[in-house]
Amino acid sequence: MVFYMANMQDVPPVAVVIGAGDATGSGVARRFAREGFTVVATRRNADALIPLREAIEAEGGIAHALACDARNEDAMVELFEFIERDIGPVEVVIFNIGANVMFSITETSARVYKKVWEMAAFAGFLAGREAAKVMLPRNKGTIIFTGATASLRGGSGFSAFASAKFALRALAQSMARELGSQGIHVAHSIIDGAIDTAFIQENFPDKYATKAQAGILDPEHIAEQYWQIHSQPKDCWTHEFDLRPWQETF
């Protein structure tokens, strides 16, 4: 059951970023905050979100940093109930959990496979379901699922990751077909390329060196595309979009 605040129309809309990491998730959170959204950013460790919250507040925005295990059904139900009751109406939900791992098929344990599925697929289902519950009464909202190259093709060593990302893509398609006629815009992004992160800089220095030639994705530019997807008029909605550096083959 969801409890709604009194005078909800006077409260700023909320953008929920599930998996607000240091790159894409944080960039998206800051972009929506600049448009007047109250941002609710979640990770399993809320302390990791302090720099993001402080950055948004320094720019005059409003942000809440909440700890939440997106794989836990009760936690996700409670998260959306809390937001709707105590923060504001959820208008945008960005599901941005990565879960990228690489193992040969013979070294992929059942534990690894299940954990990756829980993070990238099951958690996406929980986020999408709870988002739909609160958006449908208002016939309004945007849900964006962040995908990857693995959403389209399973590469060698990525059996767990690709399986989960394939599932997330199918979820997005099903939800879009069910919810579009009821005013809910469901979109799925394909992030096809390396992103400007400390992980890429430390582990793939040759790839990171292409940054000067726009060879890796800038999180702020990804965030801008997410904002544009949310801003699309209802007669011209995009469901799936891919973002890649000009150097990336496809």
Digit-coded pLDDT (tens) for 2-50: 444 444 568 899 999 999 988 999 999 999 999 999 999 999 999 999 9
Confidence bin at 248 (pLDDT 50/70/90): confident
Look up residue 98 and give its DSSP letter. -
User: How large is the average pLDDT for residues 124-145?
Assistant: 98
Q: Which residue has the tokens 């904002």?
A: 227
CB 165 within 8 A of CB 120: yes
User: How large is the average pLDDT for residues 169-193?
Assistant: 97
Residue 167 has pLDDT above 50, yes or no: yes
Domains and CATH numbers, the chain: 14-243 (3.40.50.720)
Residue 168 has pLDDT above 80, yes or no: yes
Mean pLDDT is lowest, of 101-105, 116-120, 177-181, for 101-105
Please report the pLDDT score of residue 82 as a whole number: 98
Q: Model confidence over 78-94: pLDDT tens digits?
A: 999 999 999 999 999 99
Q: Considering the chain, what is the average pLDDT of its residues? A: 93
User: How large is the average pLDDT for residues 145-160?
Assistant: 92
The model's pTM: 0.93
CB 208 within 8 A of CB 201: yes
Please report the pLDDT score of residue 202 as a whole number: 87
Please report the pLDDT score of residue 3 as a whole number: 40
Question: What percent of the chain has a predicted confidence (pLDDT) above 90?
Answer: 84
Strands (DSSP E) contained in the chain are 14-18, 38-43, 62-67, 90-95, 141-148, 184-191, 240-243
Please report the pLDDT score of residue 8 as a whole number: 56
